[in-house]
Amino acid sequence: MKIRVRRAKANTTNLLVGQQYDVRRQGITQSLLSKWLSCRESARLYLTGLTTLQRKSAMMAGSLYHDALERLYRRAQAAYPDPMPGAANFQLTVTDLLDSMDDTPPQNAESIQETEQTFAMMEAVLPGYLEHWLEDFTGGVEWTKVEEVFRVPAPGVDGVFLTGKIDGAFTRGPKSLWLFETKTKAQIQGATMDDALPLDMQVQFYLYALSKITGRKPRGVLYNVIRRPQLRQKKSESSAEFRGRVHEDVKARPDHYFKRWEVPVSVDEMRHFERSLSDMVREFVAWCDGSVATYRNGNSCLRPWPCSYLPVCSTGSEAGYFIRDHIFSELEV
């Protein structure tokens, strides 16, 4: 999908009247709800379509990894129960995959360099991922959902729905349904995964959606985490030599780069989240209807990283921003 850039116009209203978002027509995504819970002014600016031209390196890398894995798992789903074509030739499969990816052209020289570096790292990392989790691609896993867009009724308010895209879901036997959630991280802290799940709104949001889509209670979530290489290119190394060194490190330490945790979820946990989600939805819809105030939450400006709208709020300038064509561009094909 190509980005059409047009000049962002100043918008000082605290209401959503006249803006391009309609909660009853377009629904609520997990990322929007999380943004609103963090800072209502940030959510308002997001819903005007205002978007920074500068993408954070980690976010860009995560997006590219996500696009590549989507293509790989769609192939695996289409081939089930047989092996994905070419799955045994890991390097060739990944090279062909990356060559086929039609990414949105970067906006500046810095983005071009970051994109090239990310593709080089993916070419070094993904063959090891394929080999390490070979069962995913050779008919050993029954994928029931891969990057599926959903629309399910939202609890709390009639006529409003939740929307989003599930990374994946798979079954183990007739009664075991699991959510598949992929993350790319520079650091992996697996010890907190079990404790964090009951409070992880993103995962609970998708577990709720999966239960509504399938009519079944998910057994839990399988966290699939890929560690982004932290090796640095030496001055004496060419790009090919550096990529080869990363590839060898991944091959030598696959357990360092690829981690998975199964985290079961109980019926009580899902019911508790649904009650909380119902309250969030009611308040969010009231805000959209103009009966709840908009304000800046200064505690969120730098947590966990600088807000993309920090320059707008601090200086009033919208230089370096554009208006995106779709409210939820991540759901567009």
Q: Over the stretch 270-302, which tens digit does the pLDDT of each residue have?
A: 999 999 999 999 999 999 999 999 999 999 999
d(CA 37, CA 197): 18
Are the C-beta atoms of residues 245 and 174 closer than 8 Å to each other?
A: no
CA angle (136, 139, 143) in 5-degree steps: 65
Q: Over the stretch 49-79, which tens digit does the pLDDT of each residue have?
A: 998 887 666 777 888 888 889 989 998 898 8
The pair of structure tokens assigned to 57 is 């390196």
Q: Over the stretch 79-136, which tens digit does the pLDDT of each residue have?
A: 888 888 776 678 878 888 888 775 555 556 666 777 778 888 888 999 999 999 999 9
Are the C-beta atoms of residues 317 and 311 closer than 8 Å to each other?
A: yes
256 in helix, strand or coil?
Answer: helix
Give one word for 290, left, alpha or beta, with left for phi > 0 and alpha for psi -120 to 50.
left
d(CA 119, CA 244): 13
Are the C-beta atoms of residues 256 and 298 closer than 8 Å to each other?
A: no
Q: Per-residue confidence at 222, pLDDT binned at 50, 70, 90?
A: very high
What's the confidence (pLDDT) of residue 82? 86
* pLDDT at residue 4 is higher than 60: no
State how far the alpha carbon of 191 is from the alpha carbons of 62, 80, 197, in Å: 22, 33, 12
d(CA 183, CA 283): 29
For the purposes of burial, counting CB atoms within 10 Å of the CB of 191, is it exposed (0-12), middle (13-18) or buried (19 or more)? exposed
The pair of structure tokens assigned to 312 is 């707008």
pTM over 0.75: yes
d(CA 19, CA 28): 16
Q: Over the stretch 100-116, which tens digit does the pLDDT of each residue have?
A: 775 555 556 666 777 77
Q: Over the stretch 159-185, which tens digit does the pLDDT of each residue have?
A: 999 999 999 999 987 779 999 999 888
Return the beta strands (E) in the chain as ranges.
50-52, 142-153, 161-171, 177-185, 220-227, 258-264, 321-323
* pLDDT at residue 44 is higher than 90: yes
**Backbone phi and psi for residue 180, each to the nearest 5 degrees, phi listed first:** -115, 120
As a whole number, the mean pLDDT across the chain is 84
191 in helix, strand or coil?
Answer: helix
Q: Per-residue confidence at 9, pLDDT binned at 50, 70, 90?
A: very low
**Backbone phi and psi for residue 174, each to the nearest 5 degrees, phi listed first:** -75, -15
* pLDDT at residue 152 is higher than 70: yes
220 in helix, strand or coil?
Answer: strand
Cβ partners under 8 Å of residue 284, min gap 6: 23, 28, 33, 36
Cβ partners under 8 Å of residue 208, min gap 6: 152, 162, 270, 273, 274, 277
d(CA 128, CA 132): 6
Rounded to 10°, the helix 57-79/90-100 angle is 110
* pLDDT at residue 17 is higher than 70: no
d(CA 246, CA 122): 10
What's the confidence (pLDDT) of residue 94? 84
Cβ partners under 8 Å of residue 214, min gap 6: 144, 169, 177
d(CA 87, CA 136): 10
**Mean pLDDT computed over 307-328:** 90
d(CA 52, CA 141): 39
Cβ partners under 8 Å of residue 97, min gap 6: 68, 71, 72, 126
Regarding beta strands 161-171 and 142-153, do their DSSP bridges make them parallel or antiparallel, or are they unpaired? Answer: antiparallel
